[in-house]
Amino acid sequence: MDGTKRANINVGGEVAVVQKHHQRSGELTEGIVKRILTNSPNHPHGIKVQLTSGIVGRVKEVL
């Protein structure tokens, strides 16, 4: 599923995010959503979330 719509992302759901320093390479990190940090209903680069591991990134894929 698409990570640009906030409605697709749930706390406790599994996602693949790209961290700020991996944006050029596009390296994805998988994890469980702890908090949704973006307030708007959608964002062209992906909704920003915090994973349970503490990693913050933009959702590229909802698993």
pLDDT tens-digit profile of 24-35? 999 999 999 999
Q: Is residue 25 included in any domain, yes or no?
A: yes
**CB-facing half-sphere around the CA of 10: CA atoms within 13 A:** 4
In the prediction, which pLDDT does 2 show?
85
The strand pairing partners of 49, in sequence order, are: 36, 57
Mean pLDDT of the chain, nearest integer: 95
Q: What is the mean pLDDT of residues 13-21?
A: 96
The CATH number that applies at residue 50 is 2.30.30
Q: Is residue 1 included in any domain, yes or no?
A: no
Domain count, the chain: 1
Range of the domain at 35: 6-62
Q: Is residue 10 included in any domain, yes or no?
A: yes
Residue 43 CA to residue 52 CA, distance in Å, equals 22
Q: Would you place residue 46 in the very low, low, confident or very high pLDDT band (cuts 50, 70, 90)?
A: very high
What global pTM score does this model have? 0.91
Q: Is residue 50 included in any domain, yes or no?
A: yes
Q: Is residue 42 included in any domain, yes or no?
A: yes
**Region of residue 35 (left: phi > 0; alpha: psi -120 to 50; beta: else):** beta
Q: Is residue 40 included in any domain, yes or no?
A: yes
Q: State phi, psi for 3 to the nearest 5 degrees.
A: -95, 10
Q: What is the mean pLDDT of residues 11-32?
A: 96
